[in-house]
Structure 1
């Protein structure tokens, strides 16, 4: 019985998140987190466009709050907006942007869209990024295209700090799957080698010692003539 209650609870929670993302539109929402407090439900919406999400005088927030109470039976939902300062470092925003561009411009320009997004990510000082597109690009046969730049960990503890997201684009050729992985600036990498002043001095001393060692002169051996 406890398992059924847990599954039902998670299903309702997923329904709330999907409703908020669908209401606010693709490309505006990064993630939706729900926190349960004694006072009520605190719903934190991460977005790069807080003004469009809130609406004029909070119209959209009030409308969504009323729907959450009526449709999802939430006691006292409170929607809080968290602004994303740099949208190029958020994997979900980038994935949704690529999906929207593919739907608008078509799948023939997928390379231009992917390389432009990758350039924007690296210009935002990311340590590394990877974009994977899967689908009928550009022919009728499904293929997988990978665009990557910089340093990106895929296994071990350093891979936990990688920001990952997925999205889908519906084009004339079919559905295109999009995966985006971003290693944000300032991420702690265990095997990263930092070249500081102490290391530079050690290398300089070793180089000077090698240069000061005298080189041994190698004399030419005299070839003896044949005795008659």
Structure 2
């Protein structure tokens, strides 16, 4: 895929998410994800109230699939809906809840709305929460109100990847009010969270380590005994056949040279005997 196709795919996914977010208001919408499959496009929607998205006899979800197919030129869109297990820990759902209640009751009760949402989040077990409401509330001059409780990281990698953030807006008579929700989930592991274990907790771990060490030693001893019990195969060495050859005598000094006479030839031996007999 070229860069243009990749960018077009990301832009298309962003537009689909924005459309679903604006279309599914007051349903507890959380997230949407586009997945490409061999059969077509698959859209996974997470919400706190999936029954309202499906509708009576699945009419509303059929309308949504038809509109997505026509508007975004999708071949065979399939919508899958998942239910959010704990909506009080989802910042998108909390922000939508605050926006809906402010549109319903107005800006006069924004403090009670903010405190109630904060208590719901902390009651669900969150480590920390922060809700920022900015706009013309309660007067005609714009202000920013902050509701916070617990422990919340503001910098570092945990603030970027660990803290859940969501942005929503509420349309009031005085104008648009922005809502920002930050939640630190309870299962987040902090790097500065150091806990010293008690002896009772470490005793079981040490026993397990000793048992594992003893088992490994037993296994090693068993393997050694099996190897010793096996009969050793004798190594047969192949001896090379030595070819016959005659070793030449070592060269002697000039003073100690002696003429060598070969006695293997029978003719030479007879001639030498005759010469010795003729001479007196």
Bin the TM-score by the shorter chain.
0.7 to 0.9
CA RMSD, Structure 1 to Structure 2 (Å):
1.8
State the distance in 1 between where 2:147 and 2:103 align.
19
Structure 1 gaps of 5+ residues are: 199-228
1:189 counterpart residue number = 190
State the distance in 1 between where 2:195 and 2:178 align.
37
1:30 counterpart residue number = 30
2:55 counterpart residue number = 55
State the distance in 2 between where 1:5 and 1:31 align.
24
5 Å-filtered alignment, 1:49-88, equals 49-88=49-88
Superimposed CA distance per residue, residues 164-191 of structure 1 (whole angstroms, 9 cap, x where no aligned partner): 1000011122111100001111111111
124-133 or 54-63, which deviates more: 54-63
1:172 counterpart residue number = 173
5 Å-filtered alignment, 1:24-173, equals 24-159=24-159, 160-173=161-174
1:149 is paired with a residue whose SS is: strand
- Give the TM-score, by structure 1 length: 0.81
1:214 counterpart residue number = none
Superimposed CA distance per residue, residues 56-113 of structure 1 (whole angstroms, 9 cap, x where no aligned partner): 2222222211222222111111111111011110000000110111111111111110
Which one has more relative contact order, counting CA pairs under 8 Å at least 6 apart? 1
2:45 is paired with a residue whose SS is: strand
State the distance in 2 between where 1:71 and 1:196 align.
58
In our comparison, the structure showing a higher alpha carbon Rg is 2
Cα pair 2:27 2:50 within 8 Å, conserved? no
Matched residue count: 198
State the distance in 1 between where 2:26 and 2:196 align.
43
State the Cα distance separating 1:26 from its structure 2 match. 3.8
State the distance in 1 between where 2:8 and 2:137 align.
39
State the distance in 2 between where 1:148 and 1:96 align.
18
2:180 is paired with a residue whose SS is: strand
Structure 2 gaps of 5+ residues are: 200-280
State the Cα distance separating 1:194 from its structure 2 match. 2.4
- Give the TM-score, by structure 2 length: 0.66
Cα pair 2:27 2:49 within 8 Å, conserved? no
167-176 or 189-198, which deviates more: 189-198
State the distance in 1 between where 2:14 and 2:157 align.
28
